[in-house]
Structure 1
């Protein structure tokens, strides 16, 4: 944006006068006043318009620049809002909040009245990091999504006391019902791996699997620690080859490396659980469930981009866990 390069008036009054010139160039200010207002002399816009004409006739320096400044749009909310730039820690926390949540608040818009609706739903994660849902088609939120697929999801930790002290993540995205096929079968398998009790009603005629494709998110990690997140901060789309290998990798880790799996989880979480099984896997990490039902999300050191990369990612985590354990010994 260009600026007036003439020297500024030395006095505060001069600066105030310059500010007033910028204000009066707004469209709302240069409209002709009503005859009643002009006669009464109370509208004030006639004098503003006169000043503009005076500026134009005298060609005062900066008048065009001031006009341009008055036409510039106001800053958007995201430009004014006090969000921090997300770093690796913020991204990991956001993925952990989603990956370790079994339930969430789903916000939709009902039609045709356009009223907001918040309901509780159970969730899973998809291979891309998006959200998997199992919804009854008889529910109010399913009917809302059929007419208006945009939705928001709130997840977060719970504990006694002030809940605003705890981190939480709001996601925004588009929800679609999955038709029978590979994507629906994959969503079903991942959902039941995290929520096995849902097998009791997953095949009911009125239930169906849905996906919420994440557009962006808001992470509140604590006081003065708010982050605006893009989809890339939360998701990675795996290749078809990686999706095809997912089940084999999970079985291999659970059956052949259960001890190493428990060791690496213990190195990153304070837990007394010693038996873990991987439930879901994606390019950025995995989710595991203990024999008592605890759910944890562990991120890889870096994103996996090919099927063989899963092996290297787990080997690195195990090595780091053993190094940390060795250093902790007296």
Structure 2
């Protein structure tokens, strides 16, 4: 990037940031994590707080750029402005320094930046309500304020570093570790997780891997974990749909079955698995599944005949007649 352009870009941010602080800013005291998956390159941010809809205020991400958590006496502008600065080539520390140096309320801020290389920068203002602190590690930063105990961020860091699995699973483990240390002194209310690709595709609809929020719940981390698992199940469903569209019914069957294992009580997942069994001519396996589904909701029977017309169900008229009588 042209150095003069970068200087002018940063200067414009400094001018915009000088009047950012307002006493009306929300008290989103909380704990959060920003993290990168070293295998896939995916980057994510997650948060929990005793505050309604915390994800709308704290979590920010852009594929190919980075993720940000901005909390405590929160300044939401750190999110979009921080991402813009990193997109222009600044490191997380440089971007954070620009915003902090021009924020009259920086002593109340707690902010974490992470870029696609896994570089992190974290700020815990000196007037953040105790217990407040943060810990950085390879490809992550955890931070918390207004906690009951000062052990929260160490527990989160340890959980993230020692948990095996996907990025979402490791992030959830960190959040659960915070709750195990009693978390927010006020209790709990909402949570969110946002994961994007480390390398942008150019298609925004493909770049967001996971964007889930629990706005108000007595146990938001458990609910968020449940939603993450359902999200994984539907990811299998989506891939199954693509395989079905491509005419690969055997691959679709495997994918639908994987989804069903994660969400066994969901009728739709059972249904599409059975439809693929029909397409694979495994009628004796499909019929009892469809019978159970039709007994619970006859609309699935009607849908089956429509699938035949759309050529997504490729069976003979004789077999369709048998299915419609189940």
Bucket of the pairwise TM-score, normalised by the shorter protein: under 0.3
Structure with larger Rg: 1
Q: TM-score, normalised by structure 2?
A: 0.27
Q: TM-score, normalised by structure 1?
A: 0.26
